[in-house]
């Protein structure tokens, strides 16, 4: 079974690379805007507990969906780039295929980047849900406690492995297990 381990030296070099690399700046700005917009929208939908959405539970589901799309947009700059003139989208892994950096380290770097907002926002959503549930309804539904960590931390990580937005490491892992 393959194991993932952070290599601090490689992580430092990757961070420096992304800090200086601004070729994909136009995409980066658009994606950052989309990420902020979608995550903010999702927060409006996710902060109220399920009991508030009685009869409109799909809104809460959309909230999680928007959150994931927003996080995916945020992580795009760490997965691919398109240069202003040629506009061809190139995967970072293709660009760095023949340089001394491991795909695992690139994936872990991106994972750490996208997990950061997830880990910050999940407790915020949980806190609001518990406070509103206790304050307004006097009790907390189990789904209000289970679904935010599941959809806001576990699923983004899973999607990172299997989605075309992510680095698509799923196939790579299956061949090496």
- For other proteins, the binding residues (CB under 8 A) are 10, 13, 16-17, 20-21, 23, 83-86, 90, 94-103, 172, 175-176
Selection from 137, 176, 141, 134 nearest residue 57 by Cα: 141
Q: Rounded to the nearest whole angstrom, what is the least distance from the CB of residue 82 to other proteins in the complex?
A: 10
CA distance linking residue 88 with residue 90, whole number of Å:
6
Selection from 24, 167, 160 nearest residue 97 by Cα: 167
Nearest CB to other proteins, comparing residues 91 and 113: 91
Nearest CB to other proteins, comparing residues 96 and 115: 96
Nearest CB to other proteins, comparing residues 80 and 163: 80
Q: Rounded to the nearest whole angstrom, what is the least distance from the CB of residue 9 to other proteins in the complex?
A: 10
Q: Rounded to the nearest whole angstrom, what is the least distance from the CB of residue 21 to other proteins in the complex?
A: 6
Nearest CB to other proteins, comparing residues 121 and 167: 167
Written in H, E and C, the secondary structure of 57-117 is HHHHHHHHHHHHHHHHHHHHHHCEEECCCCCCEEEHHHHCCCCCCCHHHHHHHHHHHHHHH
Q: Rounded to the nearest whole angstrom, what is the least distance from the CB of residue 88 to other proteins in the complex?
A: 8
């Amino acid at each position: 079974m393959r194991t993932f381990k952070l290599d601090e030296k490689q992580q430092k070099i990757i961070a420096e690379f992304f800090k200086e690399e601004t070729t994909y700046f136009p995409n980066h700005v658009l994606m950052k805007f989309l990420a902020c917009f979608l995550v903010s929208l999702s927060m409006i939908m996710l902060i109220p507990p399920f009991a508030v959405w009685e009869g409109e539970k799909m809104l809460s589901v959309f909230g999680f969906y928007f959150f994931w799309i927003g996080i995916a947009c945020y992580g795009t700059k760490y997965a691919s780039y398109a240069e202003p003139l040629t506009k061809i989208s190139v995967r970072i892994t293709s660009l760095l295929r023949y340089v001394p950096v491991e795909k695992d380290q690139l994936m872990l770097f991106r994972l750490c980047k996208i997990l950061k907002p997830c880990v910050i926002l999940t407790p915020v959503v949980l806190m609001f849900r518990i406070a509103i549930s206790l304050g307004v309804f006097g009790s907390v539904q189990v789904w209000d406690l289970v679904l935010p960590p599941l959809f806001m931390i576990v699923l983004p990580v899973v999607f990172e492995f299997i989605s075309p937005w992510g680095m698509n490491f799923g196939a790579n892992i299956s061949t090496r297990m």
